[in-house]
Structure 1
Amino acid sequence: MIYLFLVGVPFVAGLVALAVGSDERRPWILPVGCAIHSSIIVACWRNLPEPAVSGWFYIDALGLLVLSLSSALFLVCSVYCLEYLRLRQERTERLFTACLCFILGAVSLVCVSRHMGLLWVGMEAATLAAAPLVHFNHNEKSLEATWKYLMMGSLGIGLALLGTFFLALSALPYEGHGDPLVIDTLLTRAGTLSVPWLKGAFIFLLVGYGTKMGLAPLHSWKPDTYGEAPGVAGAILAGVVTSCAFLGLLRAFQICAAAGLSEFAQGLFVLMGLLSMATAAAFIIGQRDFKRMLAYSSVEHMGILALGVGLGPAGTFAALLHLINNGLTKGVLFLTAGNIHRAFGGKTMDHAHGALRRVPVSATLFLLGFVAITGSPPFAPFVSEFGVLRAAVNGDRFGVALGFVGLLAIIFIGMATTVLSVVYGVPNKDSKVVHGDSPLMIAAPLVFMAAVIFLGLWLPDWLTAVVGNAAKLLNRGAS
């Protein structure tokens, strides 16, 4: 029953948002629905529910970790939306509010699914529900970005479906009870899976869900999508949807590790991880659009996640911790970037200059977010990125470690050039103040930043245990 509530509450909230006629009351549906969803997750932390529907639904430590992050991001962003939608009264928020609810329901389905086909359905639903968010501004650039997002998303989800079919084919030698796409069945019978079909399945799932994550060279949708979508939509896409796509990849890796193919999968993870970081480093240099800059930063951090898993158990722990840290920090950056964009009426260095003088709180948080996301102490991403580096060094992967540090340095320099130009200086005389800082618009990024600082200074034992348990699930049979 609890799985029905986890998935159903957001979808019901979305339907209610479509039905409510009052533009003033409708935005409140989002925080109310998110609060109910978060309370259900708190109950799951206290007592994990039993598997349901022939093992198709179950929430393990890994799923609970991703779902908790997603729900927390949604809850905080929903408060931000109250003020944001009030300021954007020239646009109808009916579909915007409903689609945010639908995304939460879809990613909840991804997190509680123990069936690879059902997980795919959840990712496809999240992809479709996010499209109206990208097109919210209703201009030519947002329309182009929406089409790119849908085209690349459809390509990725199609390849992931093909990988799911290959996974089913790998289980054909299996004779017994249970659905061949139920993860627990695949893990139990991992030794009987067809190795060629399983390798093919992982490659297609890596490319498919890697497209949804934005791993290079499958990242081409990200700069336009994040650049044209509202800041709150960027925070949800970068912190929630990509995290759930990564979860899909981790489920595939879990099966490969159980089948003795961990080295094969880890090699591909390292390759895709370093390629993504290198691509981000190449394109982030000289980037004048600060929202597109954040898109390339997202490509970089998806690469860090992949690289961490490719470096073995210690790297996997660091990657899962980085999943949390990246999601929280991206919340700071995208929300404050949206505030700065509105304050200047533009999102390039030509329009936005001297943000500290116009929106001092948002600019300060944006600057702190930049320092955090580039892996500087005492912020949380430093802890997880250092964990990835330590895993590479301890595993005698010195070339990987050197490349990792070098790419981080290049990206830091590239981002610093853009961020410092936006934050410091004197605003252009001909630029008018569109919107300044307001309590609700800065409350959400303040909460995220407080969490980023807290986790950078102290990692609670309970969180260490949860991340450790999730990492153990992935590395049974891995080297």
Structure 2
Amino acid sequence: MLWAFVILPLLGAALAWGIPDNRKRTFVLPLFAVLHLVFSLYLVAETPPASPHGWFLLDALGKLNLLCNAVLFTVCAFYAVGYLNYRRKRNNRTLCTALLICLSAMTLVAISQHLGMLWIALEATTLTMAPLIYFNRNARSIEATWKYLLICSVGIAIALLGLFFLAYSTIVAKQEISLLLSALVRDAARLHAGWRHAAFIFLLVGFGSKMGLAPLHTWKPDAYGEAPGLVGALLAGGLVNCALLSLLRVYQVAAASTEGPLFREVLLGMGLLSMAFAAVFMARQSDFKRMLAYSSVEHVGIIAVALGLGRGALFGALLHMVNNALTKGVLFLSCGNIHRAYNSKSTQVVRGALRRTPWSGALFLAAFLAITGSPPFAPFVSEFSIVSSAFLQGSPWTGGIFLLFLAIIFIGMALTVIPVVLGEIPEDIAKTPYRDTIHTVLPPLVLMAAILVLGLWLPDPLQELIRQAAGLLGGER
């Protein structure tokens, strides 16, 4: 059943590749996205047993990742119909096919319990995202694609070395030679200390570069800035969560060994460093899509800080993983609409979006308030949970620095977003035919509604799932 789940999007990719009509091909995306979402909900409710030899299993962490990616992909798939209709002159065969292959790879990440298979699935997401970033086919997009491929491929290669070291540590310690997560967690304390320590360093650097933790984030501004809005949403919400899940698998092994405290301290340091980088580079950004890239650096930093704190903060970390993904979806889809309305990403040109694209401008403004932790939106709940845990666990300096960075980032982001949305439209800019339509506004509006609801009410099944996932990391149930 789990393998059928992985194959389903691949069947959609084959169908999309075989359809010759540029317009009809786009409808394959929402069709298979809905099928995948329904199948995801079924598997979360009726969890199938592990595969033979235990390579594939949908545990609580995988369920949370799977649901988040399935919802985000479905919204982006419906948005893609309107977006690609607007750009019907450009061939979309590669984009539609690669999107569905990427969905299959992200699904494989969620169900993999063998770290080698997990690495293969994560590398597949890297490769399938490359042609999506290059969709606009200009000099800047090809530069962004190469930078993305180079840095992420180096990072994932470093992670592969980390897996080799982890496997070798089982050999030296004369334990069962396996990269199965259950075996590694069981034998973690008995693995060879030197090789285990080296493995954790390499895995943290490798998966951290894919997440975009500072100072390993340098591919993000170019990739997010040049990719279409729907691709940016999947990069910031889907791909980052897949890399985070990979890091959480390593976190499980580290927590079961004597390396746990050191691993958390390094994560805490990298998280605060990421927030510091975002605070510096987000202020006065002249490209509002690149600004969102630094917002992504900030929020993976917030999650890393929570993982570094451990215990009660782990619930907030996993809740923030969901909240960040949904909110980034709204930001990227709405800013993509604004980009097309002005045919520019420059804050010198894009002013008064609330007048030219009222729905997209309002969504961009609301999502800005949400992503900066303003109540009553969902990110406020998860960020409050993390910072309160810092003070309750006796880390007031961490909590204080965390709040300081949040305040600086709010001000810096506001200096860019408010003129873009509320400023005066320049008189000398060229007019474009794009205007908001139901196809490009309704998908981010649905996500925005979900963010508001989760900020006011967290459903019991979701809350229980997050608690179970935090329990796998050693958090409080």
TM category, shorter:
over 0.9
State the distance in 1 between where 2:4 and 2:142 align: 34
Q: CA deviation at 1:190?
A: 2.0
C-alpha spacing 1:433/1:305, structure 2 compared with 1 (3 Å):
same
Alignment partner, residue 83 of structure 1: 82
What is the correspondence of 1:313-392 to structure 2 with a 5 Å cutoff?
Answer: 313-392=311-390
Amino acid aligned to 2:461: W
C-alpha spacing 1:301/1:398, structure 2 compared with 1 (3 Å):
same
What is the correspondence of 1:229-308 to structure 2 with a 5 Å cutoff?
Answer: 229-308=227-306
Alignment partner of 1:19 is 2:22: no
Q: Which runs of 5+ in 1 are unaligned?
A: none
Q: Which runs of 5+ in 2 are unaligned?
A: none
1:423-466, Cα deviation, whole Å (9 max, x unpaired): 01221122213311000100111011001000000111111110
Alignment partner, residue 130 of structure 1: 129
State the distance in 2 between where 1:137 and 1:125 align: 22
Alignment partner, residue 119 of structure 1: 118
Alignment partner, residue 405 of structure 1: 403
SS in 2 for 1:25: helix
Alignment partner, residue 471 of structure 2: 472
The number of aligned residues is 475
Give the one of 171, 175, 185 matched to 2:183: 185
Alignment partner, residue 66 of structure 1: 65
State the distance in 2 between where 1:323 and 1:291 align: 21
State the distance in 2 between where 1:195 and 1:330 align: 39
State the distance in 1 between where 2:138 and 2:316 align: 40
State the distance in 1 between where 2:369 and 2:41 align: 31
8 Å CA contact 1:345–1:434 kept in 2: the answer is no
Amino acid aligned to 1:17: A
8 Å CA contact 2:23–2:88 kept in 1: the answer is no
Q: CA deviation at 1:174?
A: 5.4
Alignment partner, residue 209 of structure 1: 207
What is the correspondence of 1:125-164 to structure 2 with a 5 Å cutoff?
Answer: 125-164=124-163
Amino acid aligned to 2:352: G
Q: CA deviation at 1:414?
A: 0.6
1:84-110, Cα deviation, whole Å (9 max, x unpaired): 011112211000001110110001111
State the distance in 1 between where 2:450 and 2:193 align: 43
Alignment partner, residue 108 of structure 1: 107
Could you state the TM-score of these two structures normalised by the residue count of structure 1?
0.97
Alignment partner, residue 448 of structure 1: 447
State the distance in 1 between where 2:201 and 2:221 align: 25
State the distance in 1 between where 2:173 and 2:8 align: 37
Amino acid aligned to 1:415: M
Alignment partner, residue 419 of structure 1: 417
Amino acid aligned to 1:181: L
Q: CA deviation at 1:175?
A: 4.9
- Bigger mean CA deviation after superposition, 164-173 or 449-458: 164-173
Tell me the percent identity: 48
- Bigger mean CA deviation after superposition, 340-349 or 19-28: 19-28
State the distance in 2 between where 1:320 and 1:42 align: 19
SS in 2 for 1:86: helix
Q: CA deviation at 1:53?
A: 3.1
Alignment partner, residue 196 of structure 1: 194
Could you state the TM-score of these two structures normalised by the residue count of structure 2?
0.98
Amino acid aligned to 1:171: T
Alignment partner, residue 10 of structure 1: 9
State the distance in 2 between where 1:243 and 1:313 align: 20
